[in-house]
Structure 1
Amino acid sequence: MGKVIVIEFITLDGVVEDPDGRGGAGFGGWAFRFGVEAIAGDLFGIVPALDPGVLLFGRRTWEHLARLWPERSDPFSTAMNRARKVVVSRGEVELGAWEHSERLDGDLVDGVTRLAGEGDVVIIGSLSIVRELQAAGLVDEYRLFTFPTVVGDPHAERLFATAVELELVSIETRGPATFSVLAA
């Protein structure tokens, strides 16, 4: 059985909303304050999890990344492009925009349980999916790239809506931020 791994950029006050500024939040773009190089490459160590694992995305996150990654050819982008990608959406998705993409039909929890039977399931962003998997108790691990920023907006979306007990597995400083692996 594979792990369900959640990957998020996060601020010191737990905000995961609009790290790149494309969401239009007044506080958006906080991850890019430190330059694109601060978030480049396989920061989260997901490449080993992708074979035979799968990347799971919500439609908006998948559409955004499908516009960026297919044209890139560095080693991390190549791994992302060849990985199996599963999209959760109630609407139509142009799956041909990013190779090796498919749609998850049916119930999310059942689908993720089935996918985890085949290997690791890595969720990048996609907070609504993460919330549903958190509620079902399916998240095994969080890989958080924590930026030295406090958004301070009480209405901003945070990763954890309630108290959660986690075990720190590892931590390291990478450029201006800290990368942490936490077991749920």
Structure 2
Amino acid sequence: MGAIKVHEFTSVDASVGAPMWTMPFPWTEEQTADTAALTAGASALLLGRSTYEMFGPAWSQRTAEDDPGAPFFNDSHKYVVSGTLTEPSWGPATVLPYDRDGIAALKDEVDGDLYVSGSATLVRALLADGLVDELHLFVYPVLVGSGPYLAHEGGPQTTLALLSSTAYPNGVLHVVYGPALPTAEGTQAD
């Protein structure tokens, strides 16, 4: 049984759109190592359609010499959650509809973790349905002032438990959350 591990670049104001605002903050060796550790236990990617369509052209042109992460992104199986995509065009891929029980079953079927990057709409649904085992937020020291945002107005309140946090010299904060533990009364802990 694997875990669903989500990786999001976010601004301080929780914008998770195309993260061009990350460019002024070059990656540190520790940030690279932490991201590599996150993908190391994953055997497949779980992506929303938009992220899949954005990643395909970008990653398919990269080799291991260009980026050590290229083999993982290009060769790993991709599960693409979409109601409109019919023919995947990048790497080994399966298109599936969003279904809470189906995604939970996929976690049990895949040998290893499922890695999610970007895919804000998918991540919102996974969080609401309690399917995210680890939420890795790389918080950049910038206020963007526009979305899309990790949470949307009117969405459900979801309580999380802090698992770890690391501050990098470039000002980025890596915060890892997991599901909140239930209390004795059966409700989520604050």
Q: TM-score range by the shorter chain?
A: 0.7 to 0.9
Q: Distance in 2 between matches of 1:140 and 1:170?
A: 16
Displacement over 4 Å in runs of 4+: 40-43
CA contact (8 A) 1:41 1:76 kept: no
Identify which of 21, 31, 40 aligns with 1:30: 21
Structure 2's unaligned 5+ residue stretches are: 180-190
Secondary structure at the aligned position of 1:98 is classed as coil
What TM-score comes out, normalization by structure 1 length? 0.78
Deviation of 1:90 (Å): 1.4
* 1:23-172 equivalences in 2 (<5 Å): 29-34=20-25, 44=35, 45-50=37-42, 53-74=43-64, 75-95=68-88, 97-104=89-96, 106-117=97-108, 118=110, 119-153=112-146, 156-161=147-152, 162=157, 164-172=159-167
The two structures, once aligned, show a CA RMSD in angstroms of 2.5
Q: 1:92 to 1:83 in 2, by over 3 A?
A: same
Q: 1:123 to 1:108 in 2, by over 3 A?
A: farther
CA contact (8 A) 2:79 2:95 kept: yes
Q: Distance in 2 between matches of 1:149 and 1:165?
A: 23
1:25 — aligned with what? none
CA contact (8 A) 2:46 2:115 kept: yes
CA contact (8 A) 1:54 1:83 kept: yes
What TM-score comes out, normalization by structure 2 length? 0.76
Aligned pair count reads 168
Q: Which protein has the larger Cα radius of gyration, Structure 1 or Structure 2?
A: 2
1:181 — aligned with what? 176
CA displacement 1:120-178 (0-9 Å, x = unmatched): 2221111111111111111111111111101234xx33223436332132424163422
Q: Distance in 1 between matches of 2:25 and 2:86?
A: 32
Q: Distance in 2 between matches of 1:112 and 1:163?
A: 19
Deviation of 1:31 (Å): 1.8
2:14 — aligned with what? 14
Identical-pair percentage:
31
Secondary structure at the aligned position of 1:86 is classed as strand
Q: Distance in 2 between matches of 1:173 and 1:159?
A: 22
